[in-house]
Amino acid sequence: MNVLQIFNLRPMTGDDLDAVMAIEEASYTTPWKVQHFRDEMAARFSLPFVADEEGHVVGYVCLMSLFEEAQILNVAVSPDQRGRGIARMMLEEAFRQAREKGAEVMALEVRASNHAAISLYTQLGFKRVGVRNGYYDGCEDAILMEKPIKENP
């Protein structure tokens, strides 16, 4: 199956927020508040988008692209839709959009215990570039990862 054929990757809108919040709350112990997503939709350098499958939001990415560096601020997939390649597809779209804005590097932070996400990022070519000790709730480290996204660097 080619996932690109059945998913519509499109900008996040206010109508998506109920579905986005349901995924967010099922995905994180300290989920973003809905206002955080509203702020992302309004922010000048932010490009939040969703993966829509036949009218249902199955995942989303909050991407910020500021000059040479872009950042993945949030990525999540509905628990019952995981393992279908949706996150990989969304991140490849994020690389494309960031490149279009002139970014050369994609950066992100991930909890040290989040093996699924670290495996996803590693598979996509991200490398560990640093660590913020005790960044999450004062007790869990954040791993900083980056990937060059410039074409023909």
- Considering only 10-18, 37-45, 78-86, 142-150, which stretch makes contact with ligand COA by CB under 6 A? 78-86
Q: Per the residue annotation, which of 92, 109, 135, 136 is the catalytic one?
A: 109
CB of 19 to ligand COA, least distance (A): 14
105 vs 49: CA distance, rounded Å: 19
List the interface residues with ligand COA, window 26-45 (CB under 6 A): 27
Give the start-end residues of each E strand in the chain.
7-11, 49-53, 56-66, 69-77, 105-111, 127-136, 140-148
| Site pattern 89..128 for ligand COA (x: CB under 6 A) | ---------------------x---xxxx-xx--x-----
Q: Which amino acid would we find at residue 117?
A: A
The answer to whether 104 is a known catalytic residue is no
Residue 55 burial by Cβ neighbours in a 10 Å radius (0-12, 13-18, 19+): exposed
Look up residue 49 and give its amino acid.
F
Q: Which is nearer to ligand COA, 113 or 133 (CB)?
A: 113
Per CB under 6 A, residues contacting ligand COA are 27, 75-77, 82-88, 110, 114-117, 119-120, 123
